[in-house]
Amino acid sequence: MKILHAASELFPLLKTGGLADVLGALPFAQLQRGNDVRVVLPYYPKVREALPDAAEVAVRDNFGGHIIIRYADYNGLGLYLIDAPHLFERAGNPYHDEHYNDYPDNVIRFGVLGWAAAALATGMDELWGRADVLHAHDWQAGLAPAYLHAWGVDVRSVFTIHNIAYQGMFQAYHLPELDLPWQMYHVEGLEFHGQISFLKAGLYYAGCITTVSPSYAEEITHEPAACGMQGLLQNRLEEGRLNGILNGVDEAVWNPQTDTALAKNYHLKAMQGKKTDKKAVQQWFGLPQDDNALLAVMVSRLTPQKGADLLLAALQDTLAAGGKLQFVLLGSGEPELEQAFRDLAAAWPQQVGVHIGYDEQLAHNLIAGGDAILIPSRFEPCGLTQLYGLKYGTLPIVRRTGGLADTVVHTDADTLKQKTATGFVFEEPSAAALAGVLTQALALWDKPRIWSAVRKQAMLQDFGWHKAAEHYESCYGRL
């Protein structure tokens, strides 16, 4: 099967979040199953640095400038790269400037991504020909199925929602600039609350819609999780065109036995290295190197969606109550939350360490060295860090929502007896509920043999990408 993915980022070439991890793993899993897989993404400066010799495939003068479609082989995966310096030659984040202001021409920048994906799927590269399936990811690639519809071509399309809260909303007067007809601008099409929604374009025109976990697929058919799209998604569910497929873990990148970022590797039958990694994290953050402390880590964007404000309040209560808790954070986001975590570290210098920013190696260090990993999200389409935590024996502490609900089993008397417990789960999105489950985790930490048994069960979980690849093939087959 010839599969073309369209996305705005791909790990490790460029990453701002979990979308990049998915595109850095799923296409390779599909290749291993014998498919002919390619990915189209913008030729950002970081991508150009990594792949400077990409060959020219096609040239178009469109969308306000000169656009070259290039091709490169990337570890056996074919990459189509949209070379348009007037759109993508910008330092830093691909979506916004250093002040977190969206680029004003994002409507064209990511319109071009959808257009290029549709053009390549319909044979722009004569050597590759037409794709069997065009698979577009999140709002940035949402116009790809719309272009297929506008051109009247019979290429099957799939649209994956990684986070429905980001909808790609732009003023309607941009429609002619996108080279799409006004006939598509209505409620049964691109229009959403008087604007163009790239996300809705993907939802409306794709033959199949997927989300990144089964629970999230159900949640987004109702408010508030639907973010205004509940009617369309309920229809798609009734038509059998909405499915939840759980993300996986790329074991070539996330494996405590082979991870080169770690101070010392370890595996289920030889866990001594985890203690070394814990001490390395404690040392990096200037915390006491105390084996008896429960080291809870968080690697996350600092936003209310991720429950960062809930965690602040819960930590203040838990730290004030005393006990063996240490906490370290790697993340960035809303300035007020960044400062609040800095203040927390200043108030509790022997128990709290904070690093504002992102560092891939440090992320691996935290997930390996931690005893528990916090993902207290208000909503979470899938979540990947809890999967990494399970893989590394770092027990997830999560809220029961989306993919977190699908992947973590709460530790209680019944699940301990059944040997299914893998972490800690709280229900309500409140600081009190989170503080309560932190207290449960600290209580279990005082029972090392039981903690080790839960950790073993966590590390035995299989969330490999081979499972997701098989499910996606079934989705493609139904089209």
3-state secondary structure at position 183? helix
Ligand-binding annotation for 15, yes or no, is yes
Which helix or strand (DSSP H or E) is residue 374 part of?
Answer: strand 372-375
> CA-CA distances (angstroms) from residue 23 to 10, 104, 200, 461?
5, 26, 21, 22
Backbone angles phi, psi at 122, to 5 degrees: -100, 15
Give helix then strand counts, H and E, for the chain. 19, 18
> Quick one: DSSP state of residue 102?
B
- The residues, any chain, with a CB within 8 Å of residue 108's CB and separated by 6 or more, are 63, 64, 87, 174, 177, 178
3-state secondary structure at position 367? helix
Residue 31 identity = L
Q: For the beta carbon of residue 333, count every other beta carbon within 10 angstroms.
A: 18
CA 354, CA 91: separation in Å to the nearest integer?
A: 26
Within a 13 Å sphere around the CA of 221, how many CA atoms are in the beta-carbon half? 18
3-state secondary structure at position 358? coil
Decide: 163 and 138 in contact? Cβ < 8 Å: yes
> CA-CA distances (angstroms) from residue 98 to 92, 101, 329?
7, 7, 22
3-state secondary structure at position 53? coil
- List binding-site positions for ADP-alpha-D-glucose: 15
- List binding-site positions: 15
